[in-house]
Amino acid sequence: MLRFMFVGDSMTIGSAGEHTWRYRLWQHLRDSYGRPFTFVGPRETLHDQVTDAPTSYAYADPGFPRAHLAGWGEGWHHMTPLIGETVRSCRADVLLVSLGLIDLGFYTNAEQTAANARTFVANARAANPRVRTAVMPVLHNIRVDADETFAEQVAHFNELLVKTVTDLDDPRSPLLLVPPPVPWDFHTDTYDGTHPNECGEHRIAGAFAEALHEEWGLGGAYAASS
């Protein structure tokens, strides 16, 4: 059984009552992969925006595998120290990573964030030398439009991420850059300028699904499910 693990920030953990793009990708793999798979990780909850804590189990559809390693306000800065032991204990085979917005906004500059990404990959491989990692660049959000310095850091980090993937890709432990969804418009694909609405969930899931299908033969072409 193939074991996928989501590693992400608030866009991945989602909030109470949301489906999340994790759910959209589960629907896709359930319908197209044709082999046993599951989602793994040490966490299961959604973020509760009322209490501002990751305590909610109020999934829009509670029937899908909820395990993940995602957190509201967490980035490469937070996940890099955790990923080795988490990959080891959860026996993860494929990492689906969407991180960086929080880092660049609050913790590290582009170069430091890219260095954390490299350490993340090394730590994951130390735990599982054959782990596959698919990583998405930082998506355009409302702050990119409002803050020129932040926009420059996002652009620079995304350039460094391309180099990181090129430098570290290894046939024994493939590293895949997931092209950002096209189109992606935070005005219509998010509910607040950052976090995906239903359309955005499908766009992010579709971007990962197409990359997994085209590069690693996992699942088929993405067809949005309701």
Region of 193 (left: φ > 0; alpha: ψ -120 to 50; beta: rest) is left
Residue ranges and CATH numbers for the domains of the chain are 2-216 (3.40.50.1110)
Contacts of 76 (CB under 8 A, 6+ apart): 99, 100, 103, 108, 113, 116, 117, 120
Q: What is the mean pLDDT for each group of 10 consecutive residues in the chain (226 residues)?
A: 98 96 97 96 96 95 93 98 98 98 97 98 98 98 96 98 98 98 96 97 98 97 76
Contacts of 182 (CB under 8 A, 6+ apart): none
Rounded CA separation 71/43 (Å): 9
- The H-assigned helical ranges of 51-171 are 76-90, 101-102, 110-127, 142-146, 148-168
- pLDDT (0 to 100) of residue 26: 97
